[in-house]
Amino acid sequence: MQQLHGNLTGLSASDKQLLERIYRRRVAPSEVVSEELGAFLGQCSTTVKRQVGVLLDRAGIVTHVIVGDHQKLFLPDLGRARAGRGRLRGLRLVHTHLHGEPLSRDDLLDLAKLRLDMVVAIGIGRAGRSERLFMAHLLPPNPQGELWRELPSQLLHQQDVVFDELIPALEAEYQKAAQAAAVVDDGRDRALVVHVICTGDDPKDRGESQNPIARVAELRELCRTAGLQVLDVVTQKRHQLDPRTLLGKGKLDEVVLRALQYDATVLVFDKELQPAQARTISDATTLKVIDRTMLILDIFAQHAKSRDGKMQVELAQLKYTLPRLIEKNTMMSRLTGGIGGRGPGETKLEINRRRARERITLLQRQIDNLSSERHERRKMRRRRALPVIGIVGYTNAGKSTLLNTLTKSDVLAEDKLFATLDPTSRRMRFPDERELILTDTVGFIRDLPQDLVTAFRATLEELSEADLLMHVLDASDPAMEEQRRSVEKILFELELSDKPRLLVYNKIDKLDAEGFASLPHDREAVALSAFDKETVRPLLFAIDQALALSPQRRYWVGWPGCDDSLAAGADEAGVDGADEAEPAVDDGVTTA
């Protein structure tokens, strides 16, 4: 069916009939646009005083006639037909410019977004005649990173571009590049990271922008843990965030072009997106859009192994997804009725939301029961009068590795964020037969999603019964102090800030002498490497002293200047304690 597309408002019946006659024109396969079609498009455009364009297939047949306004066209939805990796669309856009101007940025963006064979602007002169052609086509991946090439302008009646030779040659180069990329393609989704720095008056936004390098590095690590391949990072500074797209329009266009250049499939935003923002950005880019919160939830879903962990992750995901459930299309609006349900009933969307709420209620009830079970296990421990030490810290600070070293356990410890989700308790015995319990918990992260904190409150309750919190820091991370403050903030929110604290600087094996000397010396701390038992010895003595509730720890254990007699005592307790430590197997001691 031959129909007109675009802005048809205000067109008379005779105008429409004139435009519909464009479908009768044909172009030879070797021509970009025939002189006859170009002249007729100029005539139509002058008559209706609007831009007029056509989409031509490679056989030279007009598939769409499009009407715009005096500045631009409004292209119809072309879907994704034929526009795969290594292939062009198979269509070229030929349209008029009323004032003889060259290709606009919108023209070039359409060329790139839709992967058109070519975009052509016909400049109309003062006499209303079609005069010059302005042409551009896409370029295969190249070292310069150029997406397109604009050809020199030509007169309509003096074209020298052989279309049916140029485009097949370009597509052959695209296919070669796609085959080369497939050799090294590891099957992971390809992500483009977007980091927006807000310099406005909001103190929270100013705090987030203090160390953008650390935030981007952390987001890269989150992507790696989630299984995404990060291709590039796009950064923008704004005084105020755009309520619709977060980014400015120009920067959003840059993101689209960069995604096309790198063949990205996912956009990852550092800031949490509102549901409407995510939909708007996805519509503008035609890419999958996720934010930092969704990325963290996905990592938790991948790493959750126990029934408890899976329930808590599902609860957090449902709470995050519920406000983002939208009606995709009219196919989702099937109505339900029946006895007692006559009338409009519920839409499919409403049913999905109701089921999500019911599932949330059920999961919350089950997690409350889980909390009661853990409370009973903690009561059993208290009857045995065993001191409990909770290991807390930023994600990937080395908490699980330290637990394994102290207790000779084999708890999963990987160089990934959130490798540990389920709290794990192990018993450690000192040489004088005194015992204590070490509990490893989920790692913290800055701006931890509130739904996750709420969902994992049942397991984090293990920390409320701890006699001592061992705060493990990654001393090799440049953002160590920011991470320490983030953990302290979360502990405050969990009402655990009044717990006795033992600070541990881990991963000192990654520091040189200068880096070690630059560590803060204004607080009591133990410096060690969780992989090296020798460096862990002072920690055992520090634990012993802390549990003894000495009124004041006067020594920085593990630092130069520590009393030799104390170090010797730690040596005796440490070697034997580490060697004799064993994972507990009796009820109330081990929680897996």
In 311-445, at which residue ranges do the beta strands (DSSP E only) sit?
388-393, 424-429, 435-440
In this structure, are 160 and 26 located in the same domain?
A: yes
CA distance 160 to 146: 23
Beta bridge partners of 236: 196
In this structure, are 388 and 466 located in the same domain?
A: yes
Task: Specify whether the CB–CB gap between 530 and 506 falls below 8 A.
Answer: yes
Mean pLDDT of 423-449: 80
Is residue 328 domain-resident?
no
pLDDT reported for residue 458: 60
Q: Mean pLDDT over all residues of the chain?
A: 79
Is residue 367 domain-resident?
no
Residue with tokens 């602007």: 121
Confidence of residue 355 (pLDDT cuts 50, 70, 90): confident
Task: Give start and end residues of each alpha helix (H) in 80-120.
Answer: 105-114
Q: Which of 455, 194, 480 is nearest to 312 (CA)?
A: 455
492 is in which domain, residue-wise? 376-580
CA distance 546 to 544: 6
Whether residue 3 has pLDDT greater than 80: yes
Residue type, 386: L
Tokens coding 406: 């102290």
In this structure, are 197 and 80 located in the same domain?
A: no
Confidence of residue 261 (pLDDT cuts 50, 70, 90): confident
Mean pLDDT of 227-255: 87
Is residue 360 domain-resident?
no
Task: Specify whether the CB–CB gap between 159 and 133 falls below 8 A.
Answer: yes
In this structure, are 52 and 176 located in the same domain?
A: yes
Whether residue 574 has pLDDT greater than 60: no
Give the total number of structural domains in the chain. 3
Least confident of 90-94, 107-111, 255-259, 413-417: 413-417
Give the model confidence (pLDDT) of 522-561 as tens digits: 778 889 998 888 888 888 888 888 887 533 333 333 333 3
Is residue 400 domain-resident?
yes
Judged on CB neighbours under 10 Å (0-12, 13-18, 19+), 19 is: buried
Give SS3 for 172.
helix
In this structure, are 167 and 32 located in the same domain?
A: yes
Edge-to-edge strand list for the sheet holding 229-238 = 229-238, 190-198, 266-269, 288-291
Give the model confidence (pLDDT) of 300-331 as tens digits: 888 777 787 788 888 888 888 888 776 443 33
Q: Which helix (H) or strand (E) holds 91?
A: strand 91-97
| End-to-end Cα spacing for the chain | 65
In this structure, are 51 and 130 located in the same domain?
A: yes
Is residue 311 domain-resident?
no
CA distance 324 to 334: 19
In this structure, are 398 and 287 located in the same domain?
A: no
Give the model confidence (pLDDT) of 474-513 as tens digits: 999 888 998 899 899 888 888 888 888 899 999 999 988 8
Q: Computed from CA positions of residues 562, 565, 571, 574, in that sequence, does the dihedral angle turn out positive or negative? A: negative
pLDDT reported for residue 578: 34
In this structure, are 393 and 470 located in the same domain?
A: yes
Whether residue 575 has pLDDT greater than 80: no
What's the CATH number where 566 sits? 3.40.50.300
Q: 571 versus 34: which is more confidently predicted?
A: 34
Q: 382 versus 556: which is more confidently predicted?
A: 382
Is residue 341 domain-resident?
no
In this structure, are 218 and 127 located in the same domain?
A: no
Among 231, 266, 299, give the residue marking a domain's end: 299
Confidence of residue 387 (pLDDT cuts 50, 70, 90): confident
In this structure, are 56 and 159 located in the same domain?
A: yes
For the CA atoms of 67, 72, 77, 78, the dihedral, rounded to the nearest 10 degrees, stands at: 90
Our CA angle for 55, 60, 66, nearest 5°, is 20
Our CA angle for 153, 157, 163, nearest 5°, is 65
Give every CB contact of residue 245 below 8 A, 6+ residues apart in sequence: 252, 277, 280, 281, 284
Among 258, 280, 299, give the residue marking a domain's end: 299
Q: What are phi and psi of 25, to 5 degrees?
A: -75, 150
Residue type, 429: R
Confidence of residue 144 (pLDDT cuts 50, 70, 90): confident
Among 299, 331, 356, give the residue marking a domain's end: 299
Percentage of the chain lying above the pLDDT 70 cut: 78
Is residue 272 domain-resident?
yes
What's the CATH number where 223 sits? 3.40.50.11060
Q: Which helix (H) or strand (E) holds 502?
A: strand 501-506
In this structure, are 59 and 132 located in the same domain?
A: yes
Is residue 129 domain-resident?
yes
CA distance 159 to 153: 9
In this structure, are 449 and 531 located in the same domain?
A: yes
